[in-house]
Amino acid sequence: MNTKIINHIKTKKMKIKLVFVSAIILLSLNTMAQSKDNRFAVELNGGVSIATNKLVDTKLSPGGGFEAVLHYRFLKHIGIYGGWGWNKLSADNSFAGSDVCFEETGYLFGLEFVHPIAESKISYMLRAGGLYNHIETENAEGKIISDTGHGLGYQLAGGIDFPIGSSWSIAPMIKYNSLKRKGNFGETENTLDYNYISLRIGIIKKF
């Protein structure tokens, strides 16, 4: 048997193996897609925010914010999450001037625990994690007059997950965010303790 025929047979065997492996992979992916054991989820939440303390010497008005979050459950009731968030609190009169906004933006990450309530499909959830955020101060014209730069903070949250379909749910939540950063305002440096409670409604899609 010459070399050309041998190479042809080897090539044919390789093609058969490739088709076989591809079929197994596609079958596995299809099985995972049809599985009811959804491990991934995406979430969009938003709502009102209320400061828990003064910012330097300024009392902040209620504001609001939102988050976009990706979840991955690696154990039956335990998972990790990560995402991006934005929150805005304002003041008519403050150490930074009149009619200013203090906007917190950045990243969130952490662990979550989700468990059914009794035998129902409704679950409660608890989250604890970190923030990597910064605080921008905007004046009445929308110009940024101070930016603290990113730094670490933390977030605690709890809520209830109400299924509204095979893979959708609605989740009212209460969250507490805490971030401490330093910012320059003219020639003065101030420490900003940006702490607030937020009441959020989340829409979650599991897959």
Task: Output the pTM of the full model.
Answer: 0.81
Please give the structure tokens belonging to residue 173: 């939540």
Q: What is the pLDDT of residue 187?
A: 87
Q: What's the whole-number mean pLDDT along residues 7-20?
A: 55
**Domain boundaries defined on the chain:** 1-35, 38-206
When mean pLDDT is compared across 8-17, 90-99, 101-110, 179-188, the lowest value belongs to 8-17
CATH code matching the domain that covers 38-206, chosen among 3.30.390.10, 1.10.1040.10, 3.30.70.360, 2.40.160.20: 2.40.160.20
pLDDT per residue over 40-64, tens digit each? 999 999 999 999 999 999 999 999 9
> 33 pLDDT band (50/70/90 cuts)?
very low
Q: What is the pLDDT of residue 115?
A: 96
- 3-state secondary structure string across 29-90: HHHHHHCCCCCEEEEEEEEEEEECCCECCECCEEEEEEEEEEEEECCCCEEEEEEEEEEEEE
What single letter denotes the amino acid at residue 148? Answer: T
pLDDT per residue over 122-146, tens digit each? 999 999 999 999 999 999 999 999 9
Q: Which residue has the tokens 């690696």?
A: 74
Report yes or no: 112 and 126 within 8 Å, Cβ to Cβ.
Answer: yes
Q: What's the whole-number mean pLDDT along residues 144-172?
A: 96
Q: CA 106 from chain center: how many Å? A: 10
Q: Is the pLDDT of residue 4 over 60?
A: no
Q: Is the pLDDT of residue 93 over 80?
A: yes
Of all residues in the chain, the percent with pLDDT exceeding 70 is: 83
Q: What is the pLDDT of residue 32?
A: 47
Q: What is the pLDDT of residue 20?
A: 60
Residue 101, number of CB atoms within 10 A of its CB? 20
